[in-house]
Amino acid sequence: MLQHAGQPARCLVRPGDKVQEGMLIGKAEGASSANVHSSIPGIVTRVSEVPGADGIASVAALIEFGGEFDRTGKPSAATEWEKLPRAELLGRIRSCGVVGLGGGLLPTHLKLAPGAERRTVFLVANGIECEPSLHADVSLMREKSRQVVAGMRICQRILEATRMVLAISESSREELEPLFREASGKDELEIVALSGRYPQGHEDLVRKAILSRDSLSNGGAAGGGAGTCIILNVATLYAVFEAVVMQRPLIERYVTVTGSAVRRPGVLKVRIGTRLGDLFEECGGLMEPPGKVVVGGPMRGISVASLDFPVTKGVAGVMAFTRAEARPGFALPCIRCGACVEACPWELVPTRLNKLVERGDVTTALAEGLSSCTECGCCAYACPSRIPLVDTLRRGKRLGAVGDHG
């Protein structure tokens, strides 16, 4: 019931209940929350509190498959959304449980809700993978370019956005640009190719890149400075299309299945709630017992203790590493080489923040920008001494948050 940023949804089912595909089983509660739907038809066998991959427990319903898929495989009539009022569009997005699928997991209706004062709004579709070695977004764009563009038009209408921008990585430009040119028809869609180098896919970095690019080409006057960018992941836009046009709730998503222990890595369309182990089976199984299984990508993903964890809305990839790769590293003393400083996209000095947090001086660390850390993992990746910088900084951020409240 917690697959989004905010409060968990309230579970509506009890053991023994019969559910249908796409039925509402969790109702959004509170200011920031999202609906949850059953991804398969069947009988609820158990409702209990289970830990998520991130360690935060929430209520989950175990559903045993049974009965018929009454939506899948049957054409549903496309609605002519252009005639619907904006409130209805937003309502459909909310009731279908659409959340930011790039990793932020913010309920999408909140992101699209009318803000106070907006002058120039850019709607940016983020088609840059959130992590290296994942390609779920590119696969989606390859297969569903029309639907993604339709999702953009819907959001454009809701936001009254003046411009629509699609940000893709340089490496996928050649393949995707013609598809989207065709899908968008007219010239209103701007396609911007950015470096695909991690962590470029991060929302703030995409925004920074688009705005600085814009202020360069416009001489800083016309749009750039005054603009607001609303950035939505392409998978989210696809979910918006499904919700508004097809009235289908968010019950499936594209997931990259990869890692060196996987026999046939690839991208799968997965129903939310599927066991991780089943994803690997679908990809030819594992070549050896895995040493580590990660939900998410190699840089920010969370390692899990069991293959029984379910795929949730935020899972863009799952990875299985061999035992040799999973061996824990041995941290050496910091030699102040500065590799972490060069790697940090937010221009922090990670080794210094690390020392401050270890010393217990979170206040100074916060003053030096600790809260800007997005835990992208670049510093720890670059560190020749293999110091677990991200882990310490994350701890520091938590300590800082606790200090704020108490």
Partner 1 sequence: MADSTPLTVSPAPHVGGLISSARLNWSLALSLLPASAWGVFLFGFPALQVLAVAAATALVADAAASLAWGRAVLRDGSAAVTGLLIGMLMPPAVPLYVPAAASAFGIIVVKQSFGGLGRNWMNPALGGVVFALFSWADAATRWLPARGTPAGTAAAPLAALRSALAGGAQPTGGVLSALGARGYPWSSLDGRVVSWVNVHVLSAVGLSLPGGVFDLLVGNIPGRIGDVSVPLLMLGAAFLLARRVIRWQVPVAYLASFLVAAQVFGGLPMGRGWFAGAALFQLFCGSVVLGAFFMATDPVTSPLTRGGRVAYGICLGLLTFLLRYFGTPGFGVPLAILLGNCISPLLDKIARPRAASPRKAVVQ
Q: Which amino acid is at 364?
A: T
Identify which of residues 28 and 319 has a Cβ nearer to partner 1 in the complex: 319
Q: Which of these ranges, 58-66, 74-82, 176-184, 303-311, lies near partner 1 under the rule CB under 8 A?
A: 303-311
356 binds partner 1 (CB under 8 A): no
The nearest distance, CB 277 to partner 1, in angstroms, is 5
Number of residues binding to partner 1, judged by CB under 8 A: 69
DSSP 8-state class, residue 346: T
CA 97 – CA 369 distance, rounded (Å):
34
Q: Any contact of residue 54 with partner 1 (CB under 8 A)? A: no
The yes or no reply on residue 160 touching partner 1 (CB under 8 A) is: no
The verdict on 299 binding partner 1 (CB under 8 A) reads yes
Q: Among the candidate windows 4-12, 13-21, 30-38, 279-287, which touches partner 1 by CB under 8 A?
A: 279-287
Considering only 237, 383, 396, 397, the residue that binds partner 1 (CB under 8 A) is: 383
Closest Cα to residue 5, out of 93, 96, 115, 104?
Answer: 104
Strand order in the sheet with 302-304: 266-271, 252-258, 317-321, 292-295, 302-304
Q: Which of residues 175-214 bind partner 1 (CB under 8 A)?
A: 204-205, 207-208, 211
Q: Does 326 sit near partner 1 (CB under 8 A)?
A: yes
Selected from 62, 106, 179, 382, the binder of partner 1 by CB under 8 A is: 382
Is residue 375 within 8 Å of 393, Cβ to Cβ?
yes
59 binds partner 1 (CB under 8 A): no
**Rounded Cα distance, 37 and 286, in Å:** 30
> In the chain, helix, strand, coil percent, each to 5?
35, 20, 45
The residue from 91, 223, 277, 400 that contacts partner 1 (CB under 8 A) is 277
Q: What angle do CA 24, 28, 32 make, to 5 degrees?
A: 150
Q: Which residue has the tokens 């996209």?
A: 345
Select 269 or 323, whichever has its Cβ closest to partner 1.
323
What are the Cα distances from residue 134, in Å, to 104, 174, 225, 384?
Answer: 16, 18, 33, 25
**Residues that bind partner 1 in the complex, under the rule CB under 8 A:** 204-205, 207-208, 211, 226, 228-229, 277, 280-281, 285-286, 289-294, 296, 298-307, 319, 321, 323, 326-329, 332-339, 341-342, 346-349, 351-352, 368-369, 372, 375, 377, 380-386, 388, 390-391, 394
